[in-house]
Amino acid sequence: MYKKGIDIHRLPKTIKDAILCTHKLKLKYLWTDTLCIVQDSPDDKTREISRMHNIYRDAYVTILAASARKVSVGFLEDRLDPAEDDRRWPFWCPDGQLGTMSVFDDWEYTPYREPVDERAWCFQERALSPRILIYATDSLRYQCATHLINVGGALIRQPSSHWVAKLPDIMTSRTPPNVLSDEDSRALEVAWIDALSTYTRRNLTDRSDKLPAVSAIAQTFGMWWGTERYIAGLWERRLSHDILWYRNSPGERTNGDYVAPSWSWAASDGRLTGTLSIDRVLWTIRSCYAVPATEGFPFGKIKGGRLEVRAVVRKVVWDREEIELFERKQVGHSVEFLGRSGHAHIGWVYLDSESTSVIEKGYAVVVGAEGRDILRGLLVVPIKADDGKRDFRRVGVFYLVNGKPGADPEAASGDLESWMSAPAEDISII
């Protein structure tokens, strides 16, 4: 409908404001997803999403309508007056006019959280753009790789790092080095998890967009990691480490359209807190893959996946309310739950999603260890596969602390040597 021209009067106010900004900046072109992606064409959306990392990184400047709650409201309205406060004093401005100055105690001062900070799709433009004009609730700001300033020199309310991620300085380079130093490699690994933690705080209207909405970030990291495979939100280079992602508070498991394998952070909602650390990998990955919905584009939607490992697997029971883990003991033809009978627990759990049952039973799959006294791994439950075989689904992570004489039974009660004496077995997690 726009081949012959665009009737500006029919456009949403935010787009009109962006066009006005572009003219005022004396720039020739404006890219906006509303006009530059065919909205009713899945093929065009997929094609343009695959280019977003270049669109943001190559932009001369990005206009961030931070204060706009929806596309119809615009962002060029007058800024809010300072909050009413008794501690407002007259202040002579640089232009000679008399203004006011407000003074706050440090503990009283909190930055605005802008509407844009809650939208998952907007995370990439903030993280990847080299220069940004931020039309915030209280001011106009300019951000580049080295500075964040208020245009006009007003007091700046720094955005919380929980909502705005900054990529490592080394990623501002247009050309990744042939070889990464150990320090830079570690910085990238930490930055990737931090980026996911920030991203998963935000909201998505369509859960099936969870991987596409962070695809530009993933592609950018992929430029630095070269030939490393990206598998449903995880990188092959650190698969045994990053698969131990966890949430402090369980989210909701995604319903409806398939989003990701259960071992991917994208399979359930809620903020990703981090990963359980290990310094030794104790399982063997036989195979791991995800099937892209669009052939040749592993960063977008996924339609299937499987993880096949050889690992020590133990029967366990966990208490959802107390986040405690107990070993299951076979008594005749029944399973005895030791925890409620007064026995000490063997570890702790972080569950991926809410459950209707307080007591759950399943299996603990040992992934690795930290030092000599801590085991960490995945909690899984069996599911029946279409081919009649028994597959497993991830439902959380666990850790065990080795019991020692005289140790606090609430802090150390597992027997790691006994656990690891069990023979390893092959299992498949989907």
Do 32 and 147 belong together in one domain? Answer: yes
What is the pTM (predicted TM-score) of this model? 0.84
Beta bridge partners of 308: 287, 428
Do 161 and 246 belong together in one domain? Answer: no
Residue 22 located in a structural domain: yes
With 50 as the cut, is the pLDDT of residue 410 above it? no
Do 242 and 162 belong together in one domain? Answer: no
Quick check: 290 and 304 in contact, CB under 8 A? yes
pLDDT tens-digit readout, 93-110: 888 899 887 776 654 445
d(CA 301, CA 25): 37
Residue 370 located in a structural domain: yes
Do 245 and 159 belong together in one domain? Answer: no
Phi-psi region of 233 (alpha: psi -120 to 50; beta: other; left: phi over 0): left
With 90 as the cut, is the pLDDT of residue 174 above it? no
Do 102 and 245 belong together in one domain? Answer: no
Do 157 and 43 belong together in one domain? Answer: yes
- Region 323-346: mean pLDDT is 54
With 70 as the cut, is the pLDDT of residue 274 above it? yes
Do 247 and 361 belong together in one domain? Answer: yes
Do 268 and 119 belong together in one domain? Answer: no
What's the pLDDT at 7? 85
Residue 138 located in a structural domain: yes
Last residue of a domain, one of 166, 201, 220: 166
H-helix or E-strand spanning residue 398: strand 390-401
Look at 135 and 151; give whichever has higher pLDDT: 135
Percent pLDDT > 70 in the chain is 82
d(CA 208, CA 206): 5
What's the pLDDT at 406? 38
Last residue of a domain, one of 166, 198, 217: 166
Cα 181–Cα 183–Cα 187 angle in degrees, nearest 5: 115
Lowest mean pLDDT among 24-28, 79-83, 88-92, 405-409: 405-409
d(CA 215, CA 195): 12
With 80 as the cut, is the pLDDT of residue 336 above it? no
Q: Which domain holds residue 99?
A: 1-166
With 60 as the cut, is the pLDDT of residue 333 above it? no
Residue 223 located in a structural domain: no
Write out the E strands in 233-323: 234-235, 245-246, 274-275, 280-281, 284-292, 302-311, 313-319
Instruction: Give the pLDDT band (50/70/90) at residue 164.
Output: low
Last residue of a domain, one of 166, 181, 201: 166
- Region 71-98: mean pLDDT is 78
Mean pLDDT of the chain: 84
Residue 380 located in a structural domain: yes
Look at 372 and 301; give whichever has higher pLDDT: 301
With 60 as the cut, is the pLDDT of residue 293 above it? yes
Residue 363 located in a structural domain: yes
| Sign for the pseudo-dihedral over CA of 12, 16, 21, 27 | positive
Phi-psi region of 133 (alpha: psi -120 to 50; beta: other; left: phi over 0): beta
Residue 210 located in a structural domain: no
d(CA 123, CA 197): 11
With 90 as the cut, is the pLDDT of residue 80 above it? no
What is the number of domains present in the chain? 2
d(CA 312, CA 337): 21
Q: What value does the CA radius of gyration of the chain take, rounded to a whole number of Å?
A: 26
With 70 as the cut, is the pLDDT of residue 211 above it? yes
Residue 267 located in a structural domain: yes
CB-based contacts of 52: which residues, under 8 Å, 6+ apart?
124, 215, 216, 219
Instruction: Give the pLDDT band (50/70/90) at residue 169.
Output: confident
Do 23 and 150 belong together in one domain? Answer: yes
Do 297 and 151 belong together in one domain? Answer: no
Quick check: 397 and 244 in contact, CB under 8 A? yes
d(CA 319, CA 349): 9
Do 315 and 419 belong together in one domain? Answer: yes
Do 402 and 259 belong together in one domain? Answer: yes
Instruction: Give the pLDDT band (50/70/90) at residue 122.
Output: very high
